[in-house]
Amino acid sequence: MQLILGSASPRRRDLLAQIGVVPDDIRPADIDETPQPRELPRPYCLRMACEKARAVAAGEGDIVLAADTTVALGRRILGKPEDEAQARGFLAAMSGRRHRVITAVALRKGARLWHRDVVTSVRMKSLSQDEIDGYIATGDWQGKAGGYGIQGPAGALIPWIGGSFTAVVGLPLAETSALLQAAGYPIWKSGT
């Protein structure tokens, strides 16, 4: 049995390593991540994680682990910004407000699919133009849902979260561990 991570995210690899899990292979899923018309953030995120898990080639006994993280401002999905201007717009929209970070995890073994999603409330402080400019200049916004990564410089912009920190980073560890164990992957090994 091999564990295949269906993600190129170094953050997800680092989070798995925190619980002693090292994927045998990394095969990022190549899917269309365009939201469907009027699709809400939570169902969208769960659909993305499941589609990613199904899209990765694997042997019958292998386990594919895929995830998706979506930032939601009300009913609006804030994906990965396409450019600096969109990242600035996302930050300005979240400034001084609460938003939700949804991370869905899907695990596939053969034809069987397990999934969970975790919703975390996040409050971003009221941002000055200098703070937005300074954060954009770091380049840390690139490739991150909502245009920020809480584990990097943007941590200084987030005074409060309610929920799972690891889910905001990209992989809720408690839920991921439970899914891996449900699929027969040993997390806690004794006598090794």
**What are the Cα distances from residue 107, in Å, to 94, 132, 177?**
31, 37, 11
Q: Check 14, 30, 62, 68 and give the catalytic one.
A: 68
Q: Is 25 annotated as catalytic? A: no
Q: Please say whether the beta carbons of 108 and 156 come within 8 A.
A: no
DSSP secondary structure, 74-135, as one string? TTEEE-S-SSHHHHHHHHHHHTTSEEEEEEEEEEEETTEEEEEEEEEEEEPPPPPHHHHHHH
Q: Which residues are catalytic?
A: 68
